[in-house]
Amino acid sequence: MDRIQPCTHEEADTRLLIHALDAQRCGYQNIKIRSNDTDVVVLAVSSFRTIDAEHLWVAYGTGKTLKYIPIHHIASLLTQEEAEVLPLFHALTGCDTVSFFCGRGKRTAWDVWRVFPELTEHMSSIQPTMTDITDEFLDAVERFVVLCYEKTSTLTRVNTLRQELFAKKSRLLENIPPTQAALYQHIKRAVYQGVFIWGQTLVAQPILPSASNWGWKLDDQGWTPYWTSLPQAKDICYELIKCGCKKGCGGRCKCKKANLVCTGLCYCGGGCGSCD
């Protein structure tokens, strides 16, 4: 046990892989892990080349749904770089400690990743020794999120897409991307989970920074997500009206009736001369 003790991992998900690595070092080339957790499958794929066993399986499910997932085969379908950043991609698109994008599941995110390979390079640039995330990485993730919500969009900023989707398609707030400020905190939580924690899966005593610097805050209830640096809309927006005028803003325009100027949320985009 000298190779794996002392171990400071708090979760069984990562401890399992440390034992798998130890088993390979003891001469075992065919290893099976029993788990019903998707996180374990992701971490197994990411760690397979380092574990370097001939076969690695995850027994997933129970009863009639039990299946054996061939980790060695899945890992062979990915490049080494893709496999290494898979935990960060998994965290970015939602896991136990990082929120999901409403209405955008793993399949959608995976399809976008396939057509936006630049994300891989930027995810690879994030290392456990970093003290902050780079602007280049933020820009890449922001573009990725834009594509998740609008595959044909040429936009690069989520705030611009939010305005466009809300004004032109009247989508519910739940079905548009988060604000840039909220996305920034989301990315920091994803990096903390996907790089600092999962990125050190095979390290028995990982070195972790304070979560308070990575999208979390400590209060009387314990650690809770720090969602955004922006104030709540209810505290700063006392009246919010938008019109849906498609042929110019006339006498029936909601904004005109309220003596308000059209904004970017209106169908006219705020450039309607009749509102001046």
Q: Find the angle CA(273)-CA(275)-CA(276) to the nearest 5 degrees.
A: 75
C-alpha to C-alpha distance for 45 and 70, rounded to whole angstroms? 9
Where does the chain have alpha helices with state H?
12-25, 38-51, 71-76, 80-92, 106-115, 118-124, 135-149, 158-169, 180-191, 233-236, 254-257
Q: What is the per-residue pLDDT for 170?
A: 54
CA 193 from centroid of its chain's CA atoms: 10
The 8-class DSSP code of residue 71 comes to H
Domain extent listing, the chain: 1-77, 81-230, 231-276
Q: What is the per-residue pLDDT for 20?
A: 96
pLDDT per position as a tens digit, 206-225: 999 999 999 999 988 899 99
- pTM (2 decimals)? 0.84
User: Where does residue 34 rank: exposed (0-12), middle (13-18), buried (19+ CB within 10 A)?
Assistant: exposed
User: 95 near 39, Cβ under 8 Å?
Assistant: yes
Pairing of strands 55-60, 30-34: parallel
pLDDT per position as a tens digit, 30-86: 999 999 999 999 999 999 999 999 999 999 999 999 999 999 999 999 999 999 999
**Among 127-131, 167-171, 264-268, where is mean pLDDT lowest?**
167-171
pLDDT at 154 over 90: yes
Closest CA to 195 of 144, 253, 128, 242: 128
